[in-house]
């Protein structure tokens, strides 16, 4: 059975650790502080806007913009659950149906022969757009709720808006590269499976056997099952990264 390569432990977000393992990349721990890293990502225009948000007077929010913390928190839970279910239940990432050995073998062989990574890539990109839209809308709603609490909280909402505008292009660029990384992983798994099948066939020929038994009946689709599961895990880990600003605003809202 094909298994993902094992990597030494790497600190950092789950998404980074997962991609390092799947791509077999040697990623050193980043010793740079958060402030130093942000200074490289923020241009001077962003720095000026951020300074104005920190030192200026927050806008007055109309009373009808005040939202119940409980209602907003429930909306966050609903959006998270909806996105999670969409990823987990998506048919592209679902495992092959378990049937009798002969049926499984036939289904797996057909899938292995016709599978194209572009199907997975398109689905991953679609899920990324869904997350970006849903979480972006949620973040805006949270900022309105936070800004309606106190002047200090309104300033926090302004800073979050500035940071989102400044960092969004960088975030989108980095996340857009994930499908390309997974494409290499996809091909590596498929090639490893093909090599394993060739070796099994050679051993069977040397033994004078026309069939290789249970292993041959079940092995062909193993690499694809591994890939589907890992791609699904990558999407879930990416969702957690995208939710971090939302969780920060929620934490602020709970302290009001």
Which contacts (CB < 8 Å, 24+ apart) does range 92-97 have?
92/119, 92/120, 92/123, 92/228, 93/123, 93/228, 93/229, 93/231, 93/232, 93/235, 94/228, 95/225, 95/228, 95/229, 96/221, 96/224, 96/225
In this prediction, residue 31 carries a pLDDT of: 63
In this prediction, residue 243 carries a pLDDT of: 96
In this prediction, residue 37 carries a pLDDT of: 62
DSSP 94: S
In this prediction, residue 245 carries a pLDDT of: 94
- Provide the residue-wise pLDDT of the chain in tens; the chain has 256 residues: 445 445 445 556 889 889 988 887 655 555 666 556 666 666 656 665 666 666 766 666 655 555 677 888 899 999 999 999 999 999 898 765 444 444 444 444 444 556 789 999 999 999 999 999 999 999 999 998 998 888 888 888 888 998 888 888 889 999 999 999 999 999 999 888 888 777 777 777 777 655 444 444 445 678 999 999 999 999 999 999 999 999 999 999 888 7
The CA radius of gyration of the chain, in Å to the nearest whole number, is: 24
Angle of helix 14-22 relative to helix 178-206, nearest 10 degrees, comes to 40
In this prediction, residue 70 carries a pLDDT of: 82
> Tokens representing 173?
């660029």
Please identify which residue in the block is written with the tokens 């505008």.
165
Q: How far apart are CA 164 and CA 159, in angstroms?
A: 9
């Amino acid at each position: 059975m094909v298994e993902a390569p094992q990597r030494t432990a790497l600190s950092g977000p789950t998404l980074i650790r997962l991609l390092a393992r799947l791509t077999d990349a040697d990623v050193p721990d980043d010793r740079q502080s958060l402030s130093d890293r942000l200074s490289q990502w923020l241009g001077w225009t962003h720095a000026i806007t951020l300074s104005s948000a920190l030192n200026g007077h927050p806008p007055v929010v109309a009373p009808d913009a005040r939202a119940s913390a409980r209602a907003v928190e429930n909306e966050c839970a609903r959006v998270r659950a909806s996105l999670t279910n969409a990823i987990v239940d998506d048919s592209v990432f679902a495992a092959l149906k378990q049937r009798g050995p002969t049926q499984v073998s036939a289904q797996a062989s057909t899938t292995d022969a016709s599978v194209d990574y572009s199907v997975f890539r398109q689905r991953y990109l679609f899920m990324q757009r869904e997350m970006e839209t849903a979480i972006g809308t949620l973040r805006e709603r949270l900022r309105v709720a936070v800004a309606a609490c106190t002047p200090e909280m309104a300033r926090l909402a302004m800073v979050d808006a500035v940071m989102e505008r400044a960092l969004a292009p960088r975030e989108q660029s980095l996340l857009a590269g994930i499908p390309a990384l997974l494409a290499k992983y996809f091909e590596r798994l498929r090639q490893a499976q093909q090599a394993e099948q060739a070796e099994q066939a050679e051993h069977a020929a040397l033994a004078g056997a026309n069939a290789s038994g249970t292993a041959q009946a079940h092995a062909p689709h193993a690499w694809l099952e591994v890939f589907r599961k890992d791609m699904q895990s990558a999407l879930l880990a990416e969702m957690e990264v995208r939710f971090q600003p939302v969780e920060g605003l929620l934490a602020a809202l709970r302290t009001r």
